[in-house]
């Protein structure tokens, strides 16, 4: 495979967790080429030993795009090569939360930006990556949204056409429903935005309870969203929370210590489906402490969630449904004196690891989460201790087994 046109190599690590339809990468690469961003991108496909990783590598080679594919065996080899084999447990097995491996890869190779893309999405006919880049460098006035109820302090990312569809996204606490919203405008300086959350048309990102209430048994929803359901981009007011979905998300390198995708599925409590939701809560809290913002709205993607049993998703969500009502309150008053994303996340890790949550169903899982959050920070420290890891074009090409152009 050839190197990219960028002599310094890509500055953006695009992480795609996939066991199904890796071909979506073709559409994202085509979009990037159409709008002139392909030389900035390095694709990391995170998959499993039971998947055809060679076919994914052949696809990247066919596309002539910088990238690498990591199944479980490859990941463990990578841990050993980078001296962090003792921290392999921070990335759970066979879980969407394996996006955390992409964060480790980004961190080790000094990428400036990261992008999460789910394999059941496609870009619209707009400048997908350029939209995220513009958001991350945005300066000027923007809509700021807050809950109208100061006791609830949650903002529905689908608030703009809520009267028509009545949807709340996956992870939205049930106790926060019905709080309403208020909007104003605020001014952002360049560098304030540390994460850009793109939303989704077609299949909305709902939890299983809401999907059942919408009358669908195939894990999707009868109600669908279109571009008309979304208006201007917005930020959520400091001290207020919102759901963060990793299917269409870009972020700056600086947030990685506070953006660990939590250890779901591969745990004794059988908790799943809250990896990006809770990591989003922690990111929002850390951003608020540091005076940073998460911009939500465009670029949109098309979410084509494959049919599956709604009850399977329900079984994964039920063990932590009660915890989801409380997680944000655990972190809401800690870390206020932090001056980095790392120190803010460390304070939240301590709040969970040292906490007592016996009054909640599966409360011990939060202690487990806190311990893994601490290990995440230690893992990043271990990667830092093992530097330098080159981020040059030649090193990037080496990951794919290709040769650089003259």
Confidence (pLDDT) at 402: 36
How far apart CA 380 and CA 342 sit, in angstroms, is: 10
Element spanning 67, H or E:
strand 67-70
In angstroms, how far apart are the furthest CA atoms of the chain?
Answer: 64
User: What are the pLDDT tens digits along the chain (406 aa)?
Assistant: 223 334 478 999 999 999 989 999 999 999 999 999 999 999 999 999 999 999 999 999 999 999 999 999 999 999 999 999 999 999 998 899 999 999 999 999 999 999 999 999 999 999 999 999 999 999 999 999 999 999 999 999 999 999 999 999 999 999 999 999 999 999 999 999 999 999 999 999 999 999 999 989 999 999 999 999 999 999 999 999 999 999 999 999 999 999 999 999 989 999 999 999 999 999 999 999 999 999 999 999 999 999 999 999 999 999 999 999 999 999 999 999 999 999 999 999 999 999 999 999 999 999 999 999 999 999 999 999 986 544 433 333 334 433 333 3
Residue 400, helix vs strand vs coil: helix
Confidence (pLDDT) at 386: 83
How far apart CA 269 and CA 191 sit, in angstroms, is: 39
Which residues, other chains included, contact 156 with Cβ-Cβ below 8 Å and sequence gap of 6+?
A: 162, 168, 169, 172, 181, 242
Which residues, other chains included, contact 381 with Cβ-Cβ below 8 Å and sequence gap of 6+?
A: none
Beta strands in 225-338 (DSSP E): 234-236, 241-242, 248-252, 293-303
CB contact burial 285-297 (16+ within 10 A = b; e otherwise): bbbbbbebbbbbb
pTM: 0.93
Contact predicate 321/360, CB 8 Å: no
Confidence (pLDDT) at 321: 97
The set of long-range contacts for 211-220, using a CB threshold of 8 Å and a minimum separation of 24, is 211/310, 211/313, 212/310, 212/314, 216/310, 217/309, 217/310, 217/311, 218/307, 218/308, 218/309, 218/310, 219/305, 219/306, 219/307, 219/308, 219/309, 219/310, 219/312, 219/313, 220/305, 220/307
How far apart CA 234 and CA 252 sit, in angstroms, is: 18
């Amino acid at each position: 495979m050839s190197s990219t046109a960028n002599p310094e190599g890509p500055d953006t690590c695009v992480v795609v967790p996939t066991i199904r339809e890796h071909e979506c990468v073709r559409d994202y690469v085509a979009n990037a080429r159409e709008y002139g961003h392909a030389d900035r991108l390095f694709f990391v496909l995170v998959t499993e030993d039971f998947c055809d990783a060679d076919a994914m590598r052949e696809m990247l080679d066919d596309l002539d795009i910088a990238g690498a594919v990591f199944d479980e065996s490859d990941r463990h080899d990578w841990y050993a090569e980078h001296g962090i084999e003792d921290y392999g447990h921070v990335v759970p097995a066979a879980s969407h939360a394996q996006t955390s491996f992409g964060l480790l890869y980004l961190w080790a190779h000094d990428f400036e930006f990261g992008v999460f893309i789910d394999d059941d999405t496609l870009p619209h006919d707009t400048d997908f990556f350029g939209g995220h880049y513009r958001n991350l460098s945005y300066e000027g006035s923007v809509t700021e949204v807050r809950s109208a109820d100061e006791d609830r302090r949650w903002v529905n990312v689908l608030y703009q056409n809520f009267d028509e569809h009545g949807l709340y996204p996956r992870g939205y606490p049930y106790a926060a429903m019905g709080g309403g919203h208020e909007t104003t405008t605020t001014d952002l300086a360049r560098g304030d935005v540390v994460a850009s959350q793109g939303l989704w048309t077609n299949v909305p990102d709902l939890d299983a309870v809401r999907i059942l209430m919408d009358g669908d048994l195939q894990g999707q929803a009868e109600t669908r969203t279109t571009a008309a359901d979304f208006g201007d981009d917005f930020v959520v007011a400091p001290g207020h929370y919102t759901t963060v979905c990793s299917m269409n998300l870009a972020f700056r390198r600086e947030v990685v210590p506070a953006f660990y995708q939590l250890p779901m599925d591969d745990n004794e409590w059988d908790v799943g489906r809250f990896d990006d939701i809770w990591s989003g809560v922690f990111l929002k809290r850390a951003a608020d402490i540091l005076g940073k913002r998460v911009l939500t709205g465009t670029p949109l993607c098309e979410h084509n969630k494959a049919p599956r049993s709604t009850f399977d998703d329900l079984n994964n969500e039920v063990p932590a449904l009660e915890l989801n009502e409380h997680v944000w309150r655990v972190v809401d008053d800690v870390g206020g004196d932090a001056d980095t994303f790392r120190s803010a996340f460390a304070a939240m890790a301590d709040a969970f690891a040292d906490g007592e949550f016996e009054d909640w169903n599966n409360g011990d899982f939060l202690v487990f989460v806190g311990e893994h959050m601490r290990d995440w920070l230690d893992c990043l420290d271990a990667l830092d201790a093992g530097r330098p890891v080159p981020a040059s074009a030649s090193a990037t090409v080496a990951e794919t087994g290709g040769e650089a152009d003259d």
